[in-house]
Structure 1
Amino acid sequence: MQLRTYIVEDNATIRDNLIGALEELASIRSLGWAETEGDARRWLAAHGRGDWDLAVVDLFLKEGSGLGVLEACRERDASQRVVVLSNYATPEMRVRCAELGADAVFDKSREIDALVEYCIAQSAT
């Protein structure tokens, strides 16, 4: 099963490479992307339960924060997953993200393979 995935990442190069890698390696289908918290919140509000399977969220955005995007995902369906992919995956930030409902947190520089494995596992369920 392909995971219908929404990406919240403001760096175009990272975003394009991430989408390409996840589509090739982890059987995701990109539904779109946002560069700002506001755009992500609007998309999530318009595409509720059942419209997406996975959201991948960076913490630092052009405007706003990935933490605000996590808050916007709190009322999602139990089958929908939200993960954080950030260069700022400190132990404290991992706790904060979990408190806001993140299912997992991955470090951009060291845990891309773990993100791919996570996506593969999710698509198998």
Structure 2
Amino acid sequence: MSTVDDLLETDPSLLLVDDDAAFLGRLERAMARRGFDVRTAGSVAAGLAAVAEKPPAYAVVDLRLEDGNGLDVVSALHQKRPDARAVVLTGYGNIATAVTAVKIGAIDYLSKPADADDVINALLATGEDKPEPPENPMSADRVRWEHIQRVYELCDRNVSETARRLNMHRRTLQRILAKRAPR
């Protein structure tokens, strides 16, 4: 099995695409310390431009960006460079999106908050060895809360429409939305 250094020796280029500037900065520094040649982008448009300019060997792309869907960047990367290894990060995990991400070329799909070690394990895992499960996965309550928040945002923060789509009472939804996010 190749070590991290062996894999990075051939082409250490890494593109990070995320619209959360603080998270992007932390991940950029962590990945650079681990030997990657890191470029960053804060939007789908910037990510697509970076892929068009010089397709990286590795990419870590946030699913939901302010100007669109991060899967567009993964798809463009896979078309330009089929051997590239991309990981999709998201705070809104669901199975349908994970399946779509893998179909268009992502090798893994991680829920935020993912640390640099989780990302590297996913990026460098081969078919024979699966990456270790995350040390601190989201709790079931947190996953439920994230899903509710996602639907709420997709419904333009309309409580009645969100409650209808989630098949729950509007007041129940209001109580959930008023609470802090579970850990």
Give the TM-score category using the shorter length.
0.7 to 0.9
Say whether 1:68 aligns with 2:82: no
CA RMSD of aligned residues (A): 2.0
More helix by share: 2
Helix, strand or coil: the match of 1:7? Answer: strand
Say whether 1:56 aligns with 2:60: yes
TM-score normalised by structure 1 residue count: 0.79
TM-score normalised by structure 2 residue count: 0.56
Q: For residue 16 of structure 2, what is the amino acid of its counterpart? A: I
| Larger RCO, structures 1/2 (Cα 8 Å, 6+ apart) | 1
1:37 alignment counterpart:
44
**Cα distance in 1 between the residues matched to 2:111 and 2:28:** 16
1:121: Cα distance to partner?
4.9
Residue among 100, 103, 108 paired with 2:107: 103
> Structure 1 residues 119, 72: closer, same or farther in 2, change over 3 A?
closer
Unaligned runs of 5+ in 1: none
Q: Percent identity?
A: 25
1:23: Cα distance to partner?
2.5
1:28 alignment counterpart:
36
**Cα distance in 1 between the residues matched to 2:26 and 2:104:** 27
Query: CA-to-partner distance for each residue in 1:11-53, whole Å, 9 max, x for gaps?
Result: 11000111122223x43221x21111111111211114xxx21
More strand by share: 1
Unaligned runs of 5+ in 2: 127-183
Residue among 87, 92, 99 paired with 1:88: 92
Which has the higher Rg, Structure 1 or Structure 2?
2
Q: Is the 8 A contact 1:27 1:120 kept in 2?
A: no
